[in-house]
Structure 1
Amino acid sequence: MEVILAEKYGFCFGVKRAIKITEKIAQTNPNTLTLGPLIHNPLEISRLEKNFGVKVQENINNLGQSKSVIIRTHGITKQNLETLKQKGVSITDATCPFVTKPQKIVEEMSNNGYDIIIFGDENHPEVRSVMSYSIKTPIVIANIESLKEIGKIPKKIAIVSQTTKQIEKFAEIVQYLVTNSLEVRVFNTICNATFENQEATRNLSQKADIMVIVGGKSSANTKQLFYIAQTHCPDSYLVENENDIQPSWFESKNICGISAGASTPNWVIKNVEEKIKNLKYP
């Protein structure tokens, strides 16, 4: 069986930047916390805790004795940022610049009287952080169907997207808004790394007869890669590490494609690749 890695996969710029920042801070601040998981990959979060003592705290009111708090790549709400500042802790912002961008856009457009529409998952920390920069409660839509269900479309709209969404679905939503609203300001906030990883996964899954997507199962961008792979290659699987691999998946397969989410470290991808290449059959 031939094993092929996608042309683009794994760590994106924002994740690399956040990990580098965190490791540097933790070397001089032994009680460093991240407010929420730094990235959506439990294996990398465990490595940071084991090697650098970085712990995760979900509740902003339970920071304990920590004097150093790192803001996760997905960002935090504007209100939580103000709360952190009032606590007098040392704040290091590891928010991905591709997430900071829609935060600023939403704040500016909202101040200028636009209703905000966000294409994304309302429960995702990135989307919650972006939502908090709007004066009025934004409209969050998961797909075009949920957009059609909201009823009357506001007359003056600014739309942004969660950074990990598919560009084709974003374009479909934009087209509907342009047809049904008087003024639409469109901001494509899907990051380049997401687009490149998705395109590479799409291309590889069209020629593979089995696809393995590596990443955290709570990672939005990893799940998007899995959905794309599954569309073109029904025998697609999402794994967090090599221990999830089942040999029976690969029987009678000729080409195995591997891709990985933007928060998946290279060492995890390598372990999965080696496990697949060394599979033994009776």
Structure 2
Amino acid sequence: MEIKLAKKYGFCFGVKRAIKLAEKSPGAITFGPLIHNAREIKRLEEGFGVFVENETTNVKENQSVIIRTHGITKQDLEILKNKNAKITDATCPFVIKPQQIAENMSKEGYSIVIFGDITHPEIKGVMSYAHDPIVVGSLEELQNKKFGKKVALISQTTKQTKKFLEIANYLMQQCYETRVFNTICNATFDNQEAVKELSQEVDIMIVVGGKTSSNTKQLLSIAQMYCQSSYLVEDEMDLELSWFEGKKLCGITAGASTPDWIVKKVQDKIREI
């Protein structure tokens, strides 16, 4: 079995930064999972005593708290500050950008349209900075929404550029004024382009990453467009022998929250197959 890695894959700048901050803060808690990768979260718990806390009510006075890469709501941040928490902000700078845009454009009277998953922590955080935002996962969803004549469009950092542009084009035709802010992360775009290219060359495509990770699911979706035998695994234990029957060339990519050590274990397992 020949293996070929995508030209771009794995940890992005924001995740690398967050991991380093967590490793320098032993005994701290992270408010929400630091990143969307259960295996890496477990490594931080076992190796550095950095545990996840999901409720502000459980945060103690003066406790050391790391804010996750996806950010948190404006309201939760105020609660932590009122508890005098020792805050280490690991929010990815690419996530802070749409938060700031949502807040500023709301103050200027624009309707805020967010292309993203309303249940995702990144979007919950961005929504908290906007006045009555509209969140849509597709152009079809937007067509059923009412919005003002002045609209500001932003995106979840891990979404596909093509779909974002479809929404932007629609708004420009419907609104008196449309401000479009491309808040899709460069690393996300590069990883998506790389998987698009590789999945057209291989017999089987393995996407390595957390099953709750938005950017990982986007990579799988793109891979499946070009390679029918495309699968998502969290680690080497998820691989199934039957997937590789009759296959000669295996492509591998990984989500932005997937560390190299997991990718290597997947590679080694496939070599054994």
TM-score, normalised on structure 2? 0.98
Match of 1:63 among 37, 59, 62: 59
Q: How does 1:16-35 map to 2 (within 5 A)?
A: 16-26=16-26, 30=27, 32-35=28-31
- 1:173-216 superposed Cα distances (whole Å, 9 cap, x missing partner): 10000011110000000000000000000000011111000000
In the alignment, which residue of structure 1 is the partner of 2:5?
A: 5
In the alignment, which residue of structure 2 is the partner of 1:138?
A: 133
- 1:82-105 superposed Cα distances (whole Å, 9 cap, x missing partner): 110000110110000000000011
In the alignment, which residue of structure 2 is the partner of 1:225?
A: 219
Paired letter, 2:156: Q
CA distance in 1, matches of 2:61, 2:111: 41
1:157 aligns with 2:170: no
Secondary structure at 2:58 match in 1: coil
RMSD of equivalent CA atoms: 0.9
- 1:65-119 superposed Cα distances (whole Å, 9 cap, x missing partner): 7710000000000011011000011011000000000001111100111010000
In the alignment, which residue of structure 2 is the partner of 1:81?
A: 77
CA distance in 2, matches of 1:66, 1:249: 51
Deviation of the 1:153 alpha carbon: 3.6
In the alignment, which residue of structure 2 is the partner of 1:127?
A: 123
CA distance in 1, matches of 2:60, 2:87: 15
1:273 aligns with 2:258: no
Match of 1:212 among 191, 202, 206: 206
Deviation of the 1:228 alpha carbon: 0.4
**Alpha-carbon distance change, 66 to 278 in structure 1, aligned in 2, over 3 angstroms:** farther
In the alignment, which residue of structure 1 is the partner of 2:100?
A: 104
Paired letter, 1:278: E
Paired letter, 1:140: V
In the alignment, which residue of structure 1 is the partner of 2:250?
A: 256
Deviation of the 1:132 alpha carbon: 0.5
CA distance in 2, matches of 1:145, 1:274: 43
1:116 aligns with 2:124: no
Is the Cα–Cα contact under 8 Å of residues 153 and 180 in structure 1 kept in the other structure? no
Match of 1:45 among 41, 44, 47: 41
Structure 1 ranges of 4+ moved more than 2 A: none
CA distance in 2, matches of 1:105, 1:48: 32
Paired letter, 1:7: K
Is the Cα–Cα contact under 8 Å of residues 207 and 233 in structure 2 kept in the other structure? yes
TM-score, normalised on structure 1? 0.95
CA distance in 2, matches of 1:275, 1:213: 14
In the alignment, which residue of structure 1 is the partner of 2:191?
A: 197
Unmatched segments (≥5 aa) in structure 1: none
1:147 aligns with 2:142: yes
Unmatched segments (≥5 aa) in structure 2: none
Deviation of the 1:64 alpha carbon: 4.1
